[in-house]
Amino acid sequence: MTKEELISYIQENFSGKVELIENDMPEPYFLIEPKAIVAFSRFIHDDNKLIMHFLMNLSGVDTKENMEVVYNVCSYRLKHRLFFKTVLPHEKAEVDTVKEIWAVADWHEREAWELFGINFNGHPNLTRFLLPDDWDQGHPLRKDWVGRDVIPFPEGK
């Protein structure tokens, strides 16, 4: 499907809960409520006209105001792609896991949890993944994070 077809198809079948983010990319980009993430993922994965069987990437983002989780999915069979994201508050960054839909989300969610402190409810194994096993300094990719051994970039350079 082309970008326009994808947009109208998804807005028809999932009305009210999705919000289109205008962009210049060749793929549609949607903003979804945190509560609807699992339902939306299930829909695009199972729907016969979308068949998004492949989660290309799942990443956390810290925008200072909010935390975000961005999902990139594609369909090998129908050769189209779709991006969507959800916005979470800083203090309580929580969203349901999509591990049951795309198994690859397991590691991606562990990474987002470890580096950003985003909790994925229902994930069975949110444990240390990329950082050293004895790491005790929190979630380093958060904007407000201050590390113990970090050498700050010199002012004015």
List 26, 132, 136, 156, residue binding other proteins (CB under 8 A): 132
Among the residue ranges 20-28, 70-78, 105-113, 145-153, the one whose residues contact other proteins (CB under 8 A):
145-153
Residue listed under structure tokens 């079948």: 13
Nearer to other proteins, 28 or 117 (CB): 117
Nearer to other proteins, 89 or 138 (CB): 138
Binding of other proteins by 137 (CB under 8 A): yes
Binding of other proteins by 156 (CB under 8 A): no
CB 4 within 8 A of CB 19: no
List 16, 26, 124, 154, residue binding other proteins (CB under 8 A): 154
Binding of other proteins by 150 (CB under 8 A): yes
Identity at 74, one-letter amino acid code = C
CB 86 within 8 A of CB 140: no
Nearer to other proteins, 16 or 154 (CB): 154
Residue ranges that bind other proteins, judged by CB under 8 A: 130-133, 137, 140, 145, 147, 149-154
